[in-house]
């Protein structure tokens, strides 16, 4: 190449086309040679190589796919073509029928869209079809285009003075080229918002996997060329998706993965340089640190998150309550009461469950539950019980789609603990027994953690001689043991 450019990039492909044209290749033969070079020299997988050689974005390729099928409203989308390109390492295996349509879009044969690793993973029926079909006829061309002709180098070295800087405009125009469009970004944001809302009613592992796809797409796009605003959008998508993944991994008890995801999320925010993104990540980090047993770290992360003022999109409440809960783990009563007082002054009982940041803007039931657990940990049992009562009422008013299933057992367990502190064993049993009748194994890791704490309190000196307490403690321990992953 005459100038150093990233292998496989759009400038690289533009220079490659110029070299091929200079070697006498007809225009219609150039895409195939570009695809061949991307595969052999740059290690680009075949389906991606052919799309890039055709200079098509994912969404434009999907549009042309639908046009080839004769139905512009057909279901192919850029996201699905991206998933086809990730297979077999991840993503979705394309059918032979899909490959045939893509081949028409790219002007090649469907067999050329499959590499060796693809063939090794094909079903036997598809592999038989692959071998049954004749090989496409290769275009005749010089054996190699790996290095530029010596004459071209000489021309560069001896060009006249008036040509110096003549390519500057072309270089600047490259800045307008982008591998991403607004439709792709809108899709990514829409998918994030949907998954954030779906977490309350969908298996965490499923949401975690779908978020990973979004993060991988954003990361893959960032390796290309974008305008500054598009690049920042992709960085924000990376930050939000990994912060959500860290939160969910913590819910599943996978704290090592959660810490790695948190580090990745914070790195995205550093490059995005966005206060809202930093709030997302600190909210997630504070939550994970608390449930991993690092209460003081949780409080400090939450306090740092409050330094990033964003004007209402993500309220202060989740971070203030996380700060209170973190300090409660070490019975730091002054800090807990101070945080609860700050939260009380800003609490908005009408704050709903919707919005772009619904995942981090926790609902009213969860806010009052967090306040209650913090108060309970510093000996404020009566105040905690009031908060748990409000949390229960708020939970029951939520529509089913906005209820987080884990809140019911968590409110019941900690309400039971508050009753124990107030010497009401029967009240505690009434709260906890419905939890024990359910499948605790389906609940997040923190439910099991709270059951363990409850069992320890029932086995303490205060209740050791009470048969009801012993029986309840045994039932709680049995539920905890049966729920181990």
H runs (alpha helix) in 398-444:
407-421, 425-436
User: What is the spatial distance between Cα 83 and Cα 213, in angstroms, rounded to a whole number?
Assistant: 9
The alpha carbon torsion through 353, 359, 364, 369 (nearest 10 deg) reads 160
Chain-centre distance for alpha carbon 267? 14
pLDDT tens-place values along the chain, 485 residues long: 444 667 778 888 888 888 888 888 888 888 999 989 889 888 889 999 999 988 888 888 888 888 888 765 557 888 888 888 988 887 788 888 889 999 999 999 999 999 998 888 888 888 888 888 776 554 443 333 344 443 333 334 454 555 555 566 666 665 567 888 888 888 899 888 888 888 878 888 889 999 999 999 999 999 888 888 889 999 999 999 999 999 999 988 898 999 999 999 999 999 998 999 999 999 999 999 998 889 999 999 999 999 998 876 678 999 999 999 999 999 999 999 999 999 999 988 877 666 667 888 888 999 999 999 999 999 999 999 999 999 999 999 988 888 888 899 999 999 999 999 999 999 989 998 888 888 777 777 788 888 888 888 888 888 888 888 888 888 888 877 765 55
Closest CA to 393 of 415, 377, 419: 415
Looking at residue 326, its pLDDT comes to 96
Coil, strand or helix: which one is 308? coil
> Exposure of 382 by Cβ count < 10 A (0-12 exposed, 13-18 middle, 19+ buried)?
exposed
**What pLDDT was estimated at residue 155?**
37
**What pLDDT does residue 332 have?**
95
List the one residue out of 272, 277, 288 whose CA is nearest residue 313. 277
Residue 349: partners with Cβ closer than 8 Å, 6 or more residues away: 364
Which of 182, 185, 245 lies closest to 213 in space, CA to CA?
245
pLDDT at 145: 38
Angle at 334 between CA 329 and CA 340, to 5 degrees: 80
């Amino acid at each position: 190449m005459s100038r150093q450019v990233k292998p496989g990039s759009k400038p690289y492909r533009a220079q490659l086309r110029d070299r091929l044209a200079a070697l006498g290749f007809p225009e219609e033969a150039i895409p195939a040679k570009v695809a061949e070079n991307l595969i052999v020299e740059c290690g680009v997988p075949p389906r991606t190589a052919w799309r890039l050689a055709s200079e098509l974005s994912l969404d434009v390729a999907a549009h042309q796919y639908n046009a080839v099928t004769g139905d512009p409203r057909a279901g192919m989308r850029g996201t699905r073509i991206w998933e086809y390109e990730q297979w077999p390492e991840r993503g979705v295996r394309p059918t032979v029928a899909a490959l045939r349509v893509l081949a028409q879009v790219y002007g090649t044969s469907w067999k050329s869209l499959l590499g060796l690793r693809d063939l090794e993973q094909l079903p036997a029926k598809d592999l038989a079809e692959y071998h049954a079909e004749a090989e496409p006829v290769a275009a005749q061309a010089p054996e190699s285009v790996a290095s530029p002709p010596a004459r071209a180098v000489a021309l560069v070295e001896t060009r006249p003075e008036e040509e110096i800087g003549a390519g500057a405009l072309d270089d600047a125009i490259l800045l307008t080229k982008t591998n991403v469009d607004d439709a792709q970004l809108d899709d990514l944001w829409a998918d994030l918002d949907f998954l954030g809302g779906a977490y309350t009613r969908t298996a965490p592992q499923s949401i975690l996997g779908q978020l990973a796809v979004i993060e991988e797409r954003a990361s893959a796009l960032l390796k290309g060329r974008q305008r500054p605003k598009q690049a920042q959008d992709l960085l924000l998508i990376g930050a939000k998706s990994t912060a959500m993944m860290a939160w969910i991994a913590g819910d599943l008890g996978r704290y090592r993965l959660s810490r790695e995801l948190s580090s990745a999320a914070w790195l995205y925010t550093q490059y995005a340089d966005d206060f809202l993104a930093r709030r997302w990540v600190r909210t997630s980090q504070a939550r994970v640190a608390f449930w991993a047993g690092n209460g003081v770290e949780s409080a400090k992360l939450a306090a740092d998150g409050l330094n990033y003022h964003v004007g209402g999109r993500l309220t202060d409440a989740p971070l203030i309550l996380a700060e209170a809960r973190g300090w409660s783990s070490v019975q730091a009563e002054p800090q807990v009461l101070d945080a609860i007082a700050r939260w009380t002054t800003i609490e908005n009982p009408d704050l709903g469950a919707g919005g772009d940041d619904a995942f981090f803007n926790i609902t009213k039931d969860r806010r009052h539950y967090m306040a209650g657990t913090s108060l309970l940990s510093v000996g404020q049992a009566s105040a905690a019980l009031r908060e748990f009562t409000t949390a229960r009422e708020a939970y029951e008013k939520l529509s089913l789609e906005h209820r987080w299933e884990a809140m019911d057992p968590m409110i019941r367990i900690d309400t039971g603990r508050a009753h124990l502190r107030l010497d009401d064993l029967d009240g505690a049993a009434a709260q906890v027994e419905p939890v024990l009748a359910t499948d605790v194994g389906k609940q997040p890791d923190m439910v099991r953690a709270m059951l363990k704490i409850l069992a320890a309190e029932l086995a303490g000196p205060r209740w050791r001689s009470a048969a009801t307490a012993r029986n309840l403690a045994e039932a709680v321990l049995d539920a905890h043991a049966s729920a181990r992953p």
